[in-house]
Amino acid sequence: MRHDHLISAAQLSRSDIETVLDRAGEVANDLGASRDSHPGLVLGLCFFEPSTRTKMSFDAAAKRLGGSTIDMGSVESSSVTKGESLADTVRVIEGYADAIVLRHPSEGAAKLASEFVHVPVINAGDGAGQHPSQTLLDLYTIREEHGLDDLTVGIMGDLKYGRTVHSLASALANFEVRQHFISPESLRLPRSVRFDLHEAGAQVREHTDLEPVLSELDVLYVTRIQRERFPDETEYRAVAGEYQIDAETLAAGPDDLTVMHPLPRVDEIAPDVDETDHASYFQQAHNGVPVRMALLEMLLENHG
């Protein structure tokens, strides 16, 4: 993998993805041991939006590599409230850190930040845009369960605002994967994402109901309706609560169906699914640590 920054899943070739996942597999096999490949590493965590998994797993990853982290903290406690620009904020933090993990509500924020600094920037979510490190752990989880070729994946929920969906769909286009997108009409994949998938030759179909396609799926990737991205609360209420699954829904699907979710969930996966063999979303979240360790090692090696 030869990249200075990780901004979009579209950057990642099949070979890039396989290289990161292979290394993540090695890391995962020995996660209990201190890897210590990067003593002295300081990772900057800049989260302009809330996070549990992404922030904590990058924090854990840096520490398990022998490094440490510095955290901008909440927007409210930072000098962003005094009007500091994103460009100035990251230019300051590059003096304190060897790499920056950035989450921001604006699409394109990570790309912009990467143009102002000389340390690697990892996009940890830019509005409704991309979340490529999530995609790497999603692919790692899928590969562990089913491999990554000759696969049928259903992606359901908020496909319009779900950045994990945009990144995952793009990355899956590198593999022999049939992609089924299931959503209300108002939350279809954005036209630009559909266009890119078409250009990539991806095998894509869109549906408004899960039922007709459920029996074909190897993986069902469920997403939360991204309430915080709706410009209008009434629009959110019109679709909230649709596309929920429970153990009974899944009884009509394949026995080896893997159910994934980037989390956090609200009500789209009923708790009774947790007790089934289908549920992979907590393991998926746990996979964030070895995958992000591998990713950090590789970006830092590229950066020299």
Binding site for ligand CP (CB under 6 A): 51-54, 125, 131, 134, 262-264
| 194 counts as catalytic | no
Which of 38, 54, 55, 89 is an active site residue? 54
Between 217 and 285, whose beta carbon lies closer to ligand CP?
285
Between 143 and 224, whose beta carbon lies closer to ligand CP?
224
Between 265 and 303, whose beta carbon lies closer to ligand CP?
265
Q: Are 98 and 301 in contact (CB under 8 A)?
A: no
Minimal distance, residue 118 CB to ligand CP, in Å: 26
Q: How far apart are CA 248 and CA 272, in angstroms?
A: 9
| 53 counts as catalytic | yes
Q: How far apart are CA 95 and CA 97, in angstroms?
A: 6
Which of 5, 53, 178, 292 is an active site residue? 53
Of 135, 137, 120, 127, which is closest to residue 44 (Cα–Cα)? 120
Helix (H) or strand (E) holding 61: helix 53-64
Minimal distance, residue 176 CB to ligand CP, in Å: 26
Which of 23, 103, 178, 180 is an active site residue? 103
Which of 5, 38, 104, 131 is an active site residue? 131
| 188 counts as catalytic | no
Minimal distance, residue 83 CB to ligand CP, in Å: 26
The three state secondary structure string of 1-16 is CCCCCECCHHHCCHHH
Half-sphere exposure in the Cβ direction for 7 (13 Å, CA): 14
Minimal distance, residue 119 CB to ligand CP, in Å: 21
- Could you tell me which residues come within 8 angstroms of residue 275 by beta carbon, excluding any fewer than 6 positions away? 247
Hey, which residues are catalytic here?
Answer: 53-54, 82, 103, 131
